[in-house]
Chain A
């Protein structure tokens, strides 16, 4: 993508101005120079306004003019109710994949009932293959969709930098992590996975509806009910996944706060001793809670056999009925028949009519073989199983009870320490302690929630698998249903693969971005002893941008090797990259202002280099070729940092648009001049507050 020009009419501080950004591969820098207040930052934000609209309240020190129209014209509208409506617009022309596009955003301002109102419209067109400009598209939703395919909003935020955004990006907090996350999700093409998953869900929905229809038509109530259950289970699984992620995020936030407070407390001498004891107890508590949870789990598993305990009456009934049958044990039909063939009975009587009649009666009551003794044997076995189950349940229950008691005991001890901290030490400690206690409570609730979501997720998934199997047998031999079930199975497989590949793609992309980041930082930073790292594994710190001193990193690494901790990490299956991150986080540090700017510039360079890579043969990712737009890149930098940025800023992208004041450009002109193709000078007319191009 290459920007050709931007043109304004009544827009902000510009009257009728057109600025061209003509560049080529050898001279790829377009320079816009102007003193402070001449409209450089306004120009930078106008790219956002024209493409996606922009809330001018976000502009620092511009909160008195939160509108796109030139303020003189706006004030005229405010005071003159007969004033005609006024249009302001900006048009951006850019070339993407060999085609020239034109995006114009117009806002018409008018006075209505004493207030200034506005209507906004957009117009998006391009040059067709025959060289003719296409009919403009004016539907805002469609235009935004088309624009976002070429240059998504988040990317625009990642490649247009003003001083404020540079600073924000570099403060490791939730908002900067969010910006970095959005930029990375776009350059790593997470959208492709979302698109695939959406389509799979859609087709799966159709298949489920088809199966329902067929089952309903054939009156197969069981299958219909199972289909309904499967649908509900799928929804519950999604809810459990979302809930689990939310609880995990909140849990992490609470844990971080607890960690911060604990650190503060540990620093206070008077609380140190109690703090150490607390730490030990917390470990004990964790262990006891784990034992409790495992014990409870195993108790619940054993409860599956708990029905044995309800079989006393059944076994008694079986034994009683066997007692009422007056049949000697081991006596079979075959044995009685054989006796009847003899001249005398085994009791010694002659085989007369009376004896034959009695034996015949016995034959009619006798089971085909000696089933009564088998039943008795089974009843006794059952009895034994019942006893074993009872013993096992008792045993696991005792273990659960013990863990529960341990947990309660440790909690009492912790509460005692907590109360000692509150009653015996300073006000600061008391306040911190109380805050931490509240957080501990929150942590407990969140942990429980998170675990419940995970249990639900596993339970629903297990049931889903069973229900799908049951559905196959309940659907009988209906060929159509069989085919639909098979299709559903294939789609499930596709879904699993997309999810896994998505995760893997992100991990690999972050490794690659980190490499670019490291190279960019080495090139730009004067501090050769420092390194930069973008966090990618630790869920709490993910997308945080950190710098560290390499020698400290090496020292910690050696210490970890000597203490055996490194070996433990390796045995735990951590990769080299994960171990590297753990070490970096231990030595990560704060930054000075000049250094912050270098960090943000290195990040921008890494993102641009990564997204501008050639991906013609890549199955998953797309190449973008974004330009780079930056306001005041040379201020707040000095010495080699300044020289490095000036020397290498042209390597950031195929087209680099720089807005700078004349003074700071003067510092770096000798480095930058060879790469500058166009230079535009903005002049401010102080009398009417209008900027124009010299």
Chain B
């Protein structure tokens, strides 16, 4: 099966499973914010994602 281009990049940059999940969650949320025009929460969303990744280590 053809690999998703995003997956290829994340693999190249040696993203761990947790980092990958966090990254995808960030990008998806950013897209939602972009569509709704409400991006006030995007920063705190990113902060939480990064904190969670560090905690899971």
A and B bind: yes
Chain A residues in the interface with B (C-beta under 8 A): 145-146, 149, 189, 191-192, 195-196, 199-200, 202-203, 206, 483, 486-487, 490-491, 493-494, 496-498, 500-501, 504-505, 508, 619-620, 622
Chain B residues whose C-beta falls within 8 Å of the C-beta of A195 in the assembled complex:
30, 33-34, 39, 42
Query: Quick check: A487 and B43 within 8 Å, CB to CB?
Result: no
Query: Quick check: B15 and A497 within 8 Å, CB to CB?
Result: yes
Given contacts A487-B54, A497-B10, contact A619 B15 (CB under 8 A): no
Query: Quick check: A490 and B53 within 8 Å, CB to CB?
Result: yes
Query: Quick check: B50 and A487 within 8 Å, CB to CB?
Result: yes
Chain A residues whose C-beta falls within 8 Å of the C-beta of B10 in the assembled complex:
497
Q: For the complex, what is the distance from the CA of A202 to the CA of B46, rounded to whole Å?
A: 10
Q: For the complex, what is the distance from the CA of A146 to the CA of B36, rounded to whole Å?
A: 9
Chain A residues whose C-beta falls within 8 Å of the C-beta of B51 in the assembled complex:
487
Main secondary structure of the interface of A (DSSP, over half): helix
Query: Quick check: B43 and A500 within 8 Å, CB to CB?
Result: no
- Please give the distance in Å from B13's CB to the nearest CB on chain A: 6
Q: For the complex, what is the distance from the CA of A493 to the CA of B14, rounded to whole Å?
A: 9
Closest-by-CB residue of A relative to B31 is: A192
Which of B27, B33, B43, B54 is the one whose CB lies under 8 Å from A490? Answer: B54
Query: Quick check: A493 and B13 within 8 Å, CB to CB?
Result: yes
**What are some 6 contacts across the A-B interface (CB < 8 A)?**
A192-B27, A199-B46, A487-B50, A501-B5, A619-B28, A622-B34
Given contacts A487-B51, A497-B23, contact A149 B37 (CB under 8 A): yes
- Please give the distance in Å from A41's CB to the nearest CB on chain B: 32
Closest-by-CB residue of B relative to A502 is: B9
Q: For the complex, what is the distance from the CA of A114 to the CA of B6, rounded to whole Å?
A: 63
Q: When A and B form their complex, which 6 residue pairs have the shortest distance between CB atoms, in order from nearest?
A: A500-B9, A149-B37, A487-B50, A486-B54, A196-B30, A501-B9
Which of A202, A203, A496, A497 is the one whose CB lies under 8 Å from B50? Answer: A203
- Which residues of B in the span 3-41 have a Cβ within 8 Å of any Cβ on A? 5-6, 9-10, 12-13, 15, 19, 22-24, 26-28, 30-31, 33-35, 37, 39
- Please give the distance in Å from B2's CB to the nearest CB on chain A: 12
Chain B residues whose C-beta falls within 8 Å of the C-beta of A508 in the assembled complex:
5
Chain B residues whose C-beta falls within 8 Å of the C-beta of A145 in the assembled complex:
37
- Please give the distance in Å from A665's CB to the nearest CB on chain B: 38
Q: For the complex, what is the distance from the CA of A486 to the CA of B37, rounded to whole Å?
A: 31
- Please give the distance in Å from B29's CB to the nearest CB on chain A: 10
Query: Quick check: B26 and A496 within 8 Å, CB to CB?
Result: no
Chain B residues whose C-beta falls within 8 Å of the C-beta of A196 in the assembled complex:
26-27, 30
Q: For the complex, what is the distance from the CA of A195 to the CA of B43, rounded to whole Å?
A: 10
- Please give the distance in Å from B46's CB to the nearest CB on chain A: 5
Given contacts A145-B37, A486-B57, A497-B10, contact A620 B46 (CB under 8 A): no
Chain A residues whose C-beta falls within 8 Å of the C-beta of B54 in the assembled complex:
483, 486-487, 490
Q: For the complex, what is the distance from the CA of A249 to the CA of B42, rounded to whole Å?
A: 34
Q: For the complex, what is the distance from the CA of A486 to the CA of B16, rounded to whole Å?
A: 14
Chain B residues whose C-beta falls within 8 Å of the C-beta of A494 in the assembled complex:
23, 26
Chain B residues whose C-beta falls within 8 Å of the C-beta of A622 in the assembled complex:
31, 34-35
Chain B residues whose C-beta falls within 8 Å of the C-beta of A199 in the assembled complex:
30, 39, 42-43, 46
Chain B residues whose C-beta falls within 8 Å of the C-beta of A192 in the assembled complex:
27, 30-31, 34
Closest-by-CB residue of B relative to A191 is: B34
Chain A residues whose C-beta falls within 8 Å of the C-beta of B46 in the assembled complex:
199-200, 203
Chain B residues whose C-beta falls within 8 Å of the C-beta of A146 in the assembled complex:
37
Chain B residues whose C-beta falls within 8 Å of the C-beta of A498 in the assembled complex:
27
Chain A residues whose C-beta falls within 8 Å of the C-beta of B50 in the assembled complex:
203, 487, 490-491
Q: For the complex, what is the distance from the CA of A487 to the CA of B47, rounded to whole Å?
A: 9
Residue of B12, B28, B47, B57 contacting most chain A CB atoms (<10 Å): B47
Chain A residues whose C-beta falls within 8 Å of the C-beta of B28 in the assembled complex:
619
Residue of A191, A192, A199, A202 contacting most chain B CB atoms (<10 Å): A199
Chain B residues whose C-beta falls within 8 Å of the C-beta of A490 in the assembled complex:
19, 22, 50, 53-54
Query: Quick check: B13 and A619 within 8 Å, CB to CB?
Result: no
Query: Quick check: B35 and A203 within 8 Å, CB to CB?
Result: no
- Please give the distance in Å from B8's CB to the nearest CB on chain A: 8
Closest-by-CB residue of A relative to B45 is: A199
Query: Quick check: A500 and B39 within 8 Å, CB to CB?
Result: no
Q: For the complex, what is the distance from the CA of A578 to the CA of B23, rounded to whole Å?
A: 31
- Please give the distance in Å from A488's CB to the nearest CB on chain B: 9
Closest-by-CB residue of B relative to A621 is: B31
Closest-by-CB residue of A relative to B14 is: A493
Closest-by-CB residue of B relative to A484 is: B54
- Please give the distance in Å from B19's CB to the nearest CB on chain A: 6
Q: For the complex, what is the distance from the CA of A200 to the CA of B22, rounded to whole Å?
A: 13
Query: Quick check: A202 and B31 within 8 Å, CB to CB?
Result: no
Chain A residues whose C-beta falls within 8 Å of the C-beta of B6 in the assembled complex:
501, 619-620
Query: Quick check: B30 and A504 within 8 Å, CB to CB?
Result: no
- Please give the distance in Å from B1's CB to the nearest CB on chain A: 16
Excluding A196-B27, A493-B15, A501-B6, 7 further A-B contacts by CB distance (< 8 Å) are A192-B30, A195-B39, A203-B47, A487-B50, A494-B26, A504-B9, A619-B28
